[in-house]
Copies of this chain bind each other. A is one copy, B any other.
Amino acid sequence: MLGNFLDTITIPSPVVNPNIIRENVMRMKKKCESFNANFRPHFKTHQCAYVGTVVRECGITQIAVSSVSMAFYFAKNGWKDITLAIPFNIRELKPLVELAGKIDVLNIMIDHEQAAQYVAENVQGVKLGVFFKIDTGYKRCGVQPQEYETVDKLLSIIGQNNNLTFKGFLTHCGHTYQKTTCEERQEILEGAREAMIALRVRYITKFPKIIISVGDTPGISAAKNLEGIDEIRPGNYVFFDVMQARMNNCEAKNISITVACPIISLHPERNQVVVYGGGTHLSKEYLVSEQGQKICGWVVKYNKDGTWTHLPNALVTTLSQEHGIITFENAADLNQYKIGDVIGMLPVHSCMTSCVSKFMYSTDGTKHGTLLGETEDYPSF
């Protein structure tokens, strides 16, 4: 038996280790400080007020989020300086304006003149910072770095409303996730750094306080040179996950989130245990190994103090809606497990696991709420 709070859980339950979270935050913070870059972590990875508090205790005061709902949630939990790092959804102007009136700094992001026009025409009574999204190669959102005409047009539109302040340029190199080597990811980040610095050089005379903001955990982890970047916005680094470990951005021991799952069936004839814990609880993201093996998670054994130990001889090989299958290397590895025991999974993609989690335990057994557990679209405060 475990001899801790895990004895009392009945359903699949995320467990986070605040000590590992702190180490992850401090490592990233030091990297930023060494390049004089401001560290504005992206909170979409955890969406949990408790994790936010652990991050705040590391000296962080500014955050990025990816929805107005998430901005409300963290504002309710004491965050006063928030960047909404997704092209602004004009249908949410009303809650956005309400929120802007309640916190110190609220920045939005825009990459199209229709959105700029709508904001310029409709924001009244509150101040908003505005970033322009730049596409440095991910091809999701953003203006191309050399599309100066578009940038000038956006500047001219938001310049019509004194409540809007142009803050600078923001980019997210999400295509680092598609690259297998550290060198390729360094190259992407270096390309983005140069493109963003070129933009700053062009506009700094008119906007002396201009900020260039760069995101993504794989790129920042790989980067040797962040010189000239004003702000860094990684999110995943706080938890890490199997995907990041397989990219060599972390080791298994740096992953700070697990999902504790009750064992519901044993199949020693094929070296497998079946757990209650599936795509509903972890999301269905998976990786494929060099040998063509599906990897839906890594496996941990919980210790008596609520922490865990990675089991390198086991893999989560299937996740269906509510079931997970853990495959061990040898049938003998299964001997220690029986039905009703709890075993843990390290998620493939921790951001997506947080998206489906209504609560998280910390290793001391305290249960914490998340954005998903809120009952209102825009949590009131």
Contacts and interface: CB of A to CB of B under 8 A. Distances in A.
A267 B139 CA distance: 10
A340 interface: yes
Copies in the complex: 2
B66 A140 contact: no
A377 B114 contact: no
Given A10-B91, A92-B11, A279-B283, A322 B266 contact: no
A252 to B, nearest CB: 23
A141 B284 contact: no
Contacts of A137: none
Interface in A85-142: 86-92, 94-95, 111-112, 114-115, 118, 139-141
A267 B267 CA distance: 51
Nearest to A115: B339
Interface string A197-225: 00000000000000000000000000000
A38 B118 CA distance: 56
A115 to B, nearest CB: 5
Residue from A95, A321, A351, A352 whose CB has the most chain B CB atoms within 10 Å: A321
Contacts of A318: 140
Interface residues of A, number: 57
A352 B284 contact: yes
Nearest to A324: B140
11 contacts: A10-B68, A66-B321, A66-B322, A87-B264, A112-B339, A114-B339, A141-B265, A174-B320, A356-B356, A358-B372, A373-B375
Given A90-B340, A356-B356, 6 more contacts: A89-B264, A140-B318, A280-B352, A283-B283, A283-B284, A321-B352
Q: Top 7 A-B pairs ranked by shortest CB distance?
A: A114-B339, A87-B264, A90-B340, A87-B265, A66-B322, A10-B91, A280-B355
Interface of A: 9-11, 44, 66-69, 86-92, 94-95, 111-112, 114-115, 118, 139-141, 174, 262, 264-267, 270, 274, 276, 279-280, 283-285, 318, 320-323, 325, 338-340, 351-352, 355-356, 358, 372-373, 375, 377
